[in-house]
Structure formats: structure tokens, C-alpha cells
Structure 1
Amino acid sequence: MDWDDLRIFLAVARTESLSGAGRRLGMDASTIGRRIARLEGAVGAALFAKTPQGYALTAEGARLIAPAEAAEQGANAAAEAVRREAGLTGQLRIGAPDGCANYLLPQVARDLCAAHPGLDIQIVALPRVVNLTKREADMAVAVSPPDTGRLTVQRLTDYHLHLAAHRDYLRAAPPIRDLADLRGHRMIGYIPDMIFDRELDYLSETGVESAAITSNSVSVQMQAIRAGAGLGIVHDFAIPFAPGVELVLPDRIALRRSFWLIRHADDRASRRLSLLADLLAQGLRAEVARLESQLRRT
């Protein structure tokens, strides 16, 4: 059985579509379809059933997953052995919530690429949990540890959040001396039904029941705060990127959360990915500490 056909099979199984597999592999959907048909001919059974939601594995397809993933691990190990002498090279795709992806990972990726010029780093910013089982990324940063799946979890670092607003908003708005004063102010936060992790439910910390301006993106919320649209809970590490944004009631509203590094359990055997995970963890810890220390000095 051809490994390349198995590689295509896994891509379709993980994306549940020919076009999605094609985008992941850099191939057109018609070629993907022909290769799947060839593989089905080789095994003598249909591997996928077309449904309104996409391509679902048949019973025969589900049985092929384990041997296909074993072949994938073997191919990855062989490729890793070939490039080991050349240092850390090749593609690394990192999934992360958009706060981490926007304010932390660009600097970490810069330093990793400077130290290892052969690396190709892709940052996938998603307002949801990255699905490593479907190989949406090689590893992912999350705001809480998963409780299902064949995954390994490593605590990276704590980070802090505070209520903040732009100084232009604060000059024009009624004074804020206590939590009760917030009820007379415009709040900015997450769209309630799009909060994908309980750790992101910040608004309850303020005692205010609803926000006037909401987004599923941390970056959009920060831009609204920078525009003087109101008050919101923001990451301390993001404030150095937002001139004019100031803490509000820092002694009354102070949150602490954690970042976690998530990897597929099968990747523990990869020396390359383990080294990259260690370097990523070190870089994120250092960058959170650096940016939060800037806020403390102001």
C-alpha cells in the first residue's frame, strides 16, 4: 500500500472534505478524489461515505486509521532522522487563541526563526480550541487543559488580566471609584454564546451583566478599547501594544489565568517536535514576563 495514498486518506479523514484535504496538502480536490478511489480499489472497500456534512469514515475506513497513523509516524521519524544533522528545520504549525497569537507568538516565532533559519512557522489564530486529533496544528496553546483525547498537556505559564480603558474615554466619562460605578459605563467583552472556554468568561468579574460592544476576538475588543469605546478586561501582556490604555480599579479587578501547551500523544516519540515544544514553552514564558514587567514599570 502506497504511503502517499495513506497520507491523502488521513488528510480527508481529518478535514472531512476533499477540498480541505487538498488545501492541507497543496493538491486539487479532483486529484484527492482520484487518489482516494485508487486506495479504495486497492483495499476492496469504500473508505468514506458522502454525507451532507462532508466525508465520513465507513467502518472499513475507521479500521484503516490506526495503521495509516502508524505509517505516518514511521515516515515522520525517517524524515526527522534525515534532517537531524541540519538542526531544527521544516514546518511547525502552532494553534493558539487570538490573544496569544497576536501579542505573544509573533515575537516568539521571530526568535525561533532567527536561531533556526530552516524553520517555517505557521501561526493559526482561532476563536476556539484547535483540534489536534484532526491535525489542524502540530501543537496548540490553550487557556485550559483538555479533558478528552489522546493528548499530552504541559502547563506553560500564568498570565494576568485587568479592567482597562483608554485615557480619552476616562476623561470624558463619569469617574470610576468603585465597582458600583461601572454600571454607568459602556462595557466591551465577548459575545456570550461564542465563549468557547469557561476561562474566558471575564465579565462576571466586574459585576456588570452585559456588554454593549462584543466580539469573539480579543484583538477586536482591544481595538474597541483603544478607540475609546468603553471598558473591558484585557491581557496585561497586550497593554504595551496599546498606547493610552490604562488600568481601571486594578486593586479590585485582577484576574489570573494559565496557558497550556497541548500535543498529540503520538508525537512524544518525535525528538524534533519535543525540542520545538521546549523552545516554544521557554519563549512564551519569557515573553509574558517581559511584557507584563513593562506594565508594572508604568
Structure 2
Amino acid sequence: MDWNNLRYLVEFKRTGTLLAVAKRLEVDATTVSRRIRSLEASFGLDVLERGPDGNLVLTEAGVRAAAQAEQIDQLVADLQGDLVDAKHRVTGVVHLSAVPMLVKRILIPQIAIFSAKYPELTLHLNADNRNFCLTNRETDVALRLGRPTEGGHSLKAYRVGLMTHAVFAPEALSGDAVDRLSWLGYQHEMQNLPQARWMEDNVAGLGGEFASTRFYDADTAIEAVAAGLGKTVLPCLVGQKDARLQQASEPLPDLFREAWLIHRAEDAKLARIQVVCQWLADLFRGNQCDAAKPI
């Protein structure tokens, strides 16, 4: 039996004429008649007959078949509706990785608002300086401070903003006291950081000197500044959000970092991936960053 033929029987039950069925299903009357005859051949029974007035009506077998076929039609419609809902329903788990500074200073303060909006979505936050591999499914979404170089067409990447930088000092100090502060630099193995390189290139020319203590990551440097140990260069969107710090310079024109958002191309249509990516793009857009642009 061709299950598609049952649609014609169901529509005949609903409309009462072959012409009405043809109009409803957007076919010609000949097609409707052929489908009905094919259905009768598969049943070995007539489903239509001529009534006393000469018009076609359902036989007893046709009435039973149409009633059950209508239930099947409704089940299929319900299934299609459920699948559409599931496609757009924001649920499941998303693994999100970023450097600790961004996780702690940008993401975590906004998690409660995001979770309240999407209560069925679970975020697994991976705060780590290493780059988790998306193609090996170590993470689902990665927030990176630099243009991605791996993955090719298997990954989709967006630049969500340009992170400007400035000098930050303890909040309570006056201008003269800030000028006298030592600079908080980074350990030798972290000299690849743009803010570390900028300080190495410029501190001496500014008449400053480095403190005897050096740090491995920006998150620890922030705590050192807050504790009054010195001043350092930080991303504006991070330093400006910390009430313990004050911005002690204009944004440095020759120092910025690109923020990139990456996920697997095959996941682009998943609702949970879409809402996480939009949330992250909005966070950066709200911090003087460029709108997200795909590549």
C-alpha cells in the first residue's frame, strides 16, 4: 500500500467530492481518481460508491479506512510539529572555552541573566589558556583572542570585536601616585602577549621601571593592581568593569587584540549554538567592539 494514497481518502472524507479533494491538494481530478483506484486495488475493496443521488460516497470499508487514516494523518502532523519545536528549542549542553580572564571577568557576571532566559540550556565553561580543539569535540564554542588558523571549512569563525587596551592602576590613588607606581610585567614565557610586548617596548621610554614581581597571566596581574602593587596594561572591557581599578591612560592606539568566536560549521543551525554565539557577540558589542562578522 502506498501511504500517500491515504491522504486522498482522508481529504475525500473531509470535503465530500473528488473536485474538492483536487483543489485542496492542488492536483487535477484525474490524479485523485487514479490515487483512489490504486488504494482500492491495494485493499481489494471499494472505498467509494455511488449514492442514491448519484454522487460518490464512502463505502462502509471506506468510512473505517478513512477514520483510521485520519488518525495517522494527525499523528504525522503532530510529529512534524514536535520536530520543528525541537529544532528551535534551546536545550542541551554547550561546552564553551575561553581564557580565564574572559570567563571570570566578562562571562560569569552575565551567566545568571543568560541562564534565566534559557533555563533548559546547560553551559560547561572551560577557563584555560590553551586552545581546545573543536574538530576533536573538546569544546563546542571557543572564544579566542586572535584569528583562528585551524579547521578550514569545518569551522565557522566570527570576529566579535577589537579589544582596546589602556593603563590601569589602583582606584584610590591620585595622578601623581599613579605616575610613581612600578609597572607589573609578565614572566619571560608570556612575552608573546601583546600587552606584555607593549610594556617591554615602552616602559623605559616613559621613564618607568618594572616591579620585582612578574606574573604569568592577566587575571593575576589584575589582582596585583587591585592590591596596590603597581600598574599594568589591561583590556579596557575588563579593567573598566573592576571597581577596584581606575583607567590611568587613554586607550593605547597601537595596542589592540581581536576577539574571535569559533564553532563547528555543522552545528551552525543548532538553536543552542546560535543563542550562545549571539550572547557572546552581544557582550562584546556592548563593550565598544565591532559587530560580529563571519569569515
TM-score (norm 2): 0.57
Letter aligned with residue 248 of structure 1: A
Aligned to 1:163: 167
Q: Would you say the 8 A contact 1:108–1:283 is kept in 2?
A: no
**CA distance in 1 between partners of 2:263 and 2:252 (Å):** 36
Q: Does 1:215 align with 2:215?
A: yes
**CA distance in 1 between partners of 2:197 and 2:140 (Å):** 27
Letter aligned with residue 141 of structure 1: L
**Corresponding residue SS for 1:250:** coil
Structure 1 segment 90-109 matched on structure 2, within 5 A = 90-109=92-111
Percent identity, aligned pairs only? 19
Deviation at 1:189, TM superposition (A): 3.0
Aligned to 1:262: 262
Aligned to 1:11: none
**Corresponding residue SS for 2:133:** coil
**CA distance in 2 between partners of 1:263 and 1:81 (Å):** 24
Deviation at 1:288, TM superposition (A): 2.2
Q: Which moved more, 1:205-214 or 1:98-107?
A: 205-214
**Corresponding residue SS for 1:93:** strand
Aligned to 2:292: none
**CA distance in 1 between partners of 2:125 and 2:267 (Å):** 19
Aligned to 1:248: 248
Aligned to 1:203: 199
CA offsets 1:48-72 (integer angstroms, 9 cap, x no match): xxxxxxxxxxxxxxxxxxxxxxxxx
Q: Would you say the 8 A contact 1:162–1:254 is kept in 2?
A: no
Aligned to 2:144: 142
Unmatched tracts of structure 1, length 5 or more: 1-79, 177-183, 291-298
**Corresponding residue SS for 2:169:** strand
Letter aligned with residue 274 of structure 2: L
- Structure 1 residues 245 and 254, CA, compared in 2 at 3 Å: closer, same or farther? farther
Unmatched tracts of structure 2, length 5 or more: 1-81, 290-295
Q: Would you say the 8 A contact 2:169–2:226 is kept in 1?
A: yes
Deviation at 1:251, TM superposition (A): 6.6
**CA distance in 1 between partners of 2:285 and 2:89 (Å):** 23
Q: Which moved more, 1:142-151 or 1:278-287?
A: 278-287
Q: Would you say the 8 A contact 2:90–2:120 is kept in 1?
A: yes
- Structure 1 residues 158 and 251, CA, compared in 2 at 3 Å: closer, same or farther? closer
Letter aligned with residue 216 of structure 2: N
**CA distance in 1 between partners of 2:249 and 2:287 (Å):** 22
Aligned to 1:88: 90
Q: Would you say the 8 A contact 1:89–1:120 is kept in 2?
A: yes
Structure 1 segment 173-212 matched on structure 2, within 5 A = 173=177, 176=179, 185-194=181-190, 201-204=197-200, 206-208=202-204, 212=212
Deviation at 1:278, TM superposition (A): 3.9
**Corresponding residue SS for 2:125:** strand
Q: Would you say the 8 A contact 2:166–2:252 is kept in 1?
A: no
Instruction: Name the Cα RMSD after superposition.
Output: 3.3
Deviation at 1:107, TM superposition (A): 3.6
**CA distance in 2 between partners of 1:132 and 1:195 (Å):** 26
Aligned to 2:282: 283
Q: Would you say the 8 A contact 2:103–2:127 is kept in 1?
A: yes
Q: Would you say the 8 A contact 2:121–2:272 is kept in 1?
A: no
CA offsets 1:203-241 (integer angstroms, 9 cap, x no match): 245334866333333221101000010110112222344
Q: Would you say the 8 A contact 2:160–2:285 is kept in 1?
A: no
Aligned to 1:77: none
Deviation at 1:190, TM superposition (A): 2.9
Aligned to 2:40: none
**CA distance in 1 between partners of 2:124 and 2:161 (Å):** 22
Aligned to 1:59: none
- Structure 1 residues 252 and 201, CA, compared in 2 at 3 Å: closer, same or farther? closer
**Corresponding residue SS for 1:144:** coil
Deviation at 1:91, TM superposition (A): 0.9
